Structure 1
Amino acid sequence: MQFNYYFLRQLSGHLEHRLVNRRIQAIFSQNKDELIMIFEGDDPFLIKANLDNESSLLSFPESFARARKNSIDLFSQIHDLKVLNIKQFKNERSFSIRLENDFELLFKLHGRHANVILFREDTIDSLFKKSIEIDQSVKLSELDREIDQSDQRLIESEFELIKVYPTFDKHIKNHLKAEGFYDSNDHELKLKILHALLHQLNNPLYYITEVDGIPKLLLFQPKNYLQSFDDPIAASNFLARQFFTNHGLSKLKSKLLAQTKKEIKKSESYLNQTKAKLSEIKKRRGYDELANILMANLHVQVNPQAKEIELFDFYSSQQIKVKIKPNQSLQKNAESMYRKAKNQAKEVEILSQNISAKEKTLRELLKKQEVISSSKDIKSLKSLESSKKEGKNQLESPPFIEHHINGFQVFVGRNAKNNDLLTQKYARKDDLWLHAKDVSGSHVIIRNPKGISIPIFTIEKVAQIAAWHSKRKADTLCPVIYTPKKYVRKPKGSLPGQVLLSKEQVILVKPERISS
């Protein structure tokens, strides 16, 4: 309710006593939607306007430490000009600071659409928030609203308040309702209630309370309140402190906790999936043992068309069935299995490393959650927020389709522009880049932060994803190009998604949608 007309009318009157004959020393901004004005004098006077969509507030701090960076001067044409007077516009939530040289700085305080506009005479010179298009046509000469607010007019309008008192907001109407205004048909009683209300609005106390955890300024005494004031400047400062400390702390804490819990849940899910994958690999029969069994049974006659053969397992002294590739000798099948065993060992190593790294991350997240929950200092929370932004890995939460394949993080572009973003900005030189050959489709990246040799079985699975996200998704087989990202470049002036390769390999796979 700080931007209620009746409060602003009192506030602008107090500002006139404080500002007339002072000169503007500086006007600047160092945060989006925040404006700072400093008026010179033995005791400089400051106005701080926070005009964002959620917390539009005016406050008047005793001092303000201007940052050396990310600070920009505004309205330089009125620097060093003297304040002539303050004008409160009639029945309008706006006041202006009138200056020398026919300049006038309008504070148009319409809640979420609040703005500061500089005029020279009745012509707009510049605006603080240029995004509010309707403010481009504001005219100072049309802001005053002359309204007949006599008792006779009220009776003639049948006490339709919106016509006579358009400045009555819901808080004032709720007060009238509590006083029985809307329940009575007695004109004299209605006028009595209104007169008492107007007297209170002209001689108010200001109450700072909380509504749903959000600090509010009220003109009527609520059942519970934090503090009351008879000075609108002091009330504004207390409101701002409550909002930007207590409420700001609570809001930032909730935001950081929600983000951290989401990361914890994601880490726990990744650990569960990866541990299950590792357990499944360790439980199944190793390719090296199967290869040894084949080598021990080379004397056995094999049907060339057979896809499975029963052999003696010298590990268990029993007969077992082993799947083999048709039209290949047992020795060739054994050689293939030895290669798979090598890849399987590498996969186990990668999964184990990833589990260890993610467990460390989870411990850090749980510790961070505890720190956030117990924190009572907004500065420390803001430092946590900024460190999170600075330390955030670019590919931690990218705008791409994400998979986890055999312990590797895989990203798939969503469209041509997104492909460019993935390949040109997010991918690193040792990451493996894949794309269906000779057709349009998604760029696919296998993250390879340690620059290791990615197993061929992993490349095959990811190639299936690349084939699926291409024009060849319906084909029986699809050739897919793969190469380290360092061999991929984008020619100047090329269309979105177009790249050139200086080195490539091709793998033939069946297009398949694969879940992480």
Structure 2
Amino acid sequence: MSPDGITLHLIIRELRETLLAGRVERVFQPERQEIILVIRSSGQSWRLLLSAKAESASLHLTTREKKNPLSPPQFCIVLRKYLEGSRLTDIQQVGLDRIVRLTFNRIAESGEFQELVLVVEIMGKHSNLILINPESNQIIDGIKRYSHALSRYREVLPGRTYLSPPAQEKVHPLTLDEDEFIKLILSHPLKKSLEKVLFSILEGVGPVLSREIVLRTDLDHNLRLEYCGAHELQSLWQVIQDIIPPLIQGQGVEPIIVFQDKQPTAYAPIFLTQYEGLNIVRCQTVNEMLDRFYTERREINRFQQIHRHLAHVIKRELSQRCKKLSYQEQDEAEAKKALKLRLWGETVFAHLHLIKPGTREISLPDIYEPDGPHIIVKLNPSMTASQNAQKFFRKYNKARDSLKIIKKNIRKTAAEVRYLNSVEIGLEQAATLSEIGEIQSELEEAGYLRTSAREKEKRKKKEQRKEAPQIKQFTSQDGFTILIGKNNKQNDYLTMRLAQDDDCWLHVKDSAGAHIVVKNIPGKEVPLSTLEEAAGLAAYFSEARLSSNVPVDCTKRKNVSKPKGARPGFVIYKKHQTFYVTPKAPEEPDNH
């Protein structure tokens, strides 16, 4: 979703008040199709973000810090050469189209003043940032280069003549009168919806604003033109006059962002009645509106991308370990079968005199249960009875030694499966990029994810800074603080470093899940109601979330310990009591 022409017009009004005559201090290119200009104006440094991304092309001030690549891309190098140290002298929009020209003035190498224009073209997948020399109208460079092989209309290459994008056949709202408006409306196919007709004829009006205008006329936004008469079109014209001219003049601006299920869905410079009932957040400026919308959407997209990747890795590793465990259990069963060979060997030795040469199979009494059923022993007819017995003992010894190793490997693989299950539960409950990052870091440290040298260095620096995990904190109905570790890293930090000996510690019994700590208040006994509340949270933040009557163990923190070499999140405990509770989602958390 990119800003429409009217939103862009309001953005530019704010930018002109803030940035004009400002000096470009630095140029960054944190992402492939995104530029940040640091401009010093009125004693303050501002960050102007210019994006040519198809899904979020935009132009607005941002307060968000972004990491930059180790080596600047080519377009960034070009902008640094031409723009750093220059002054921003003008910002102009082409009509109400989504094309903006930023004019900079600098002292060239010749010592003379030189004008440069950075054109921001916001056109979906065709968006671009192009630096031109206005005197010759030649392109210096573009963030997206392409030749006639990709576009028959124009080339964006250094040295080529700059051509503006093809003009849209739309009309500036302030140049229309009612008769012209109705005439334009009726020139469209009657099967077309009123919303789409407005979008196709009014310059600067995007789909969201088009729908809002129709809805404020008390008409269905999907209403087709063929069902509209003079009354409907006159009402539509009146609503347009009530909304568009004041907005263009900067009056009645009320920037808002619409959230649905905590995800930013839409934004506009006016209140949107079409989204009544959803969470609508008001912003101070149009720049703030765009900055927050794109930042939060980017974080959500990033969260979902990393979440999908980590879920795939965990699922793959779990599948491999479960298959490995299955094979190991089969080997164990085979090895246990081979243990009977000891009995065969002893039985054969005890009855050597009964076994004739060349015997393939013989029924012999059980030496340990003489009155029980006989044992059927299969022999190699080419070997003597004594040789057969020795062969049985050799196979038994091999099976016995193998069984020890197999059981050890089964314990190791089963522990790995339990660990991966705990990581999977932590991933399912992760709600922020920070929590996702903790799980990603844990998987890297455990060797399930490859780590680049740069990531290793970043993690090393982070560990040196000793950044503590952000622990969820709630207050019980009795006023006691309840802390929740939602993944293994948080669990280790909460239990082994944050909790005190007399704090109450809870964990769902025999299942992966969160560590819960109820902070002790000196001189007060933690009431049963708080412990049951904490137990409900422990059940909710575990793999037993969808069950009922979940067992949750509770003990003092001093009774909890971590075995040497144990994986993150794994502890042992003693002297516990068990609550049987129904999982309960937390109430609104405290602001921490």
Question: Normalising by the residue count of structure 2, what TM-score does the alignment of the two structures yield?
Answer: 0.54
Q: Does 2:264 align with 1:215?
A: yes
Contact 1:59 1:240 survives alignment (8 Å): no
Q: Which residue of 2 aligns with 1:109?
A: 122
| Counterparts in 2 of 1:227 and 1:125: CA distance versus 1, 3 Å | same
The superposition leaves residues 182-240 of structure 1 with CA deviations (integer Å, 9 ceiling, x where unpaired) of 35422453254145236524514322112354203333242133322462112123324
For residues 35-184 of structure 1, the aligned pairs below 5 Å read 35-41=35-41, 42-48=43-49, 60-62=61-63, 64=65, 69=70, 73-74=76-77, 75-80=79-84, 81-90=86-95, 92-100=97-105, 101=114, 103-111=116-124, 114-121=127-134, 122-128=137-143, 134=150, 137=155, 140-143=162-165, 145=167, 147=169, 149=171, 150-151=180-181, 152-157=183-188, 161=197, 163-165=200-202, 169-178=206-215, 179=217, 180=219, 182=223, 184=227
**Aligned-pair CA distance for 1:16:** 3.2
CA distance in structure 2 between the partners assigned to 1:106 and 1:332 by the alignment:
93
State the Cα deviation string for residues 385-406 of structure 1 (Å, max 9, x = none). Answer: 244235434799xxxxxxxxxx
Q: Share of identical aligned residues, percent?
A: 14
Asked if residue 381 in structure 1 is aligned to residue 436 in structure 2, the reply is yes
SS of 1:145's partner is coil
Task: Give me the whole-angstrom Cα distance separating, in 2, the residues matched to 1:395 and 1:338.
Answer: 47
Deviation per CA, 1:420-461, whole angstroms, max 9, x where unpaired? xxxxxxxxxxxxxxxxxxxxxxxxxxxxxxxxxxxxxxxxxx
Query: What is the DSSP-based 3-state SS (H/G/I as helix, E as strand, rest coil) of the residue aligned with 1:106?
Result: strand
- Counterpart pick for 1:282 among 336, 345, 354: 336
Question: Does structure 2 conserve the Cα–Cα contact (< 8 Å) formed by 1:215 and 1:247?
Answer: no
Distance 1:370 1:10 in 2: 46
Name the residue aligned to 1:237. Answer: 291
Task: Output one character per residue of 1:304-354: Cα deviation in whole Å (capped at 9) or x when no partner.
Answer: 7x4x55444434444323344564444554455444334423432333222
TM-score between both structures, scaled by the size of structure 1: 0.61
The aligned amino acid for 2:44 is D
Write the deviation string for residues 51-82 of structure 1: whole angstroms up to 9, x where unpaired.
66766666533473766957665433323233
Partner of 2:521: none
Query: Does residue 1:358 correspond to 2:413, yes or no?
Result: yes
Q: Corresponding residue for 1:440? A: none
Distance 1:234 1:205 in 2: 12
Do the aligned residues in 2 keep the contact of 1:92 with 1:167 (CA within 8 Å)? Answer: yes
Whole-angstrom CA distance in 1 between matches of 2:54 and 2:348: 72
C-alpha RMSD over aligned residues: 4.3
- 1:321 is matched with which residue? 376
Q: Whole-Å Cα distance in 2 between the matches of residues 334 and 194 of structure 1?
A: 104
Q: 1:226 aligns with which of 260, 271, 280?
A: 280
In 2 relative to 1, CA 381–293 (structure 1 residues): closer, same or farther, beyond 3 Å? same
Gaps in structure 2 of 5+ consecutive residues: 106-113, 172-179, 248-252, 452-592
Determine the C-alpha separation between the residues in 2 that align with 1:335 and 1:265: 41
In 1: Cα distance, 2:450 partner to 2:284 partner: 54
Determine the C-alpha separation between the residues in 2 that align with 1:242 and 1:188.
42
Matches within 5 A, 1:260-299: 271=325, 274-275=328-329, 277-279=331-333, 281-282=335-336, 285-299=339-353
Q: Is the 8 A contact 1:313 1:320 kept in 2?
A: yes
Contact 2:2 2:55 in 1 (8 A): no
Cα pair distance change 1:339/1:3, threshold 3 Å = farther
Distance 1:51 1:12 in 2: 17
C-alpha distance in 2, partners of 1:295/1:20? 104
In the aligned structure 1, how far is the partner of 2:339 from the partner of 2:293? 69
* Residues matched between the structures, number: 394
Aligned to 2:175: none
Q: Does 1:23 align with 2:23?
A: yes
Deviation at 1:382, TM superposition (A): 1.8
1:43 Cα offset (Å): 0.7
Q: Is the 8 A contact 1:90 1:145 kept in 2?
A: no
Contact 1:313-1:319 within 8 A present in 2 as well? yes
**One-letter amino acid of the structure 1 residue matched with residue 155 of structure 2:** S
Say whether the 8 Å CA contact 2:5–2:203 is kept in structure 1.
no
Partners of 2:379 and 2:21 lie apart in 1 by 96
Equivalent residue, structure 2, for 1:472? none
Q: What amino acid sits opposite 1:226 in the alignment?
A: I
Asked if the contact 2:349–2:386 (Cα under 8 Å) also holds between the matched residues in 1, the reply is yes
CA distance in 2, matches of 1:386, 1:123: 48
CA contact (8 A) 1:3 1:111 kept: no
Native 8 Å contact 2:267 2:293 kept in 1: no
Q: Partners of 1:331 and 1:191 in 2: how far apart? A: 111
1:456 corresponds to which residue? none
Deviations 1:144-167 (A, max 9, x none): 626353423333336762652486
Residues 244 and 37 (structure 1), Cα distance of their counterparts in 2 relative to 1, 3 Å cut: same
Among 353, 358, 364, which residue is 1:303 paired with? 358
Runs of 5+ unmatched residues, structure 1: 397-516
Offset, 1:38: 1.2
Change over 3 Å in CA distance of 1:277–1:226 after alignment to 2: farther
* 8 Å contact kept, 1:294–1:330: yes
* Secondary structure of 1:84 counterpart: strand
- The amino acid across from 1:96 in the alignment is R
- SS of the equivalent of 1:301 reads coil
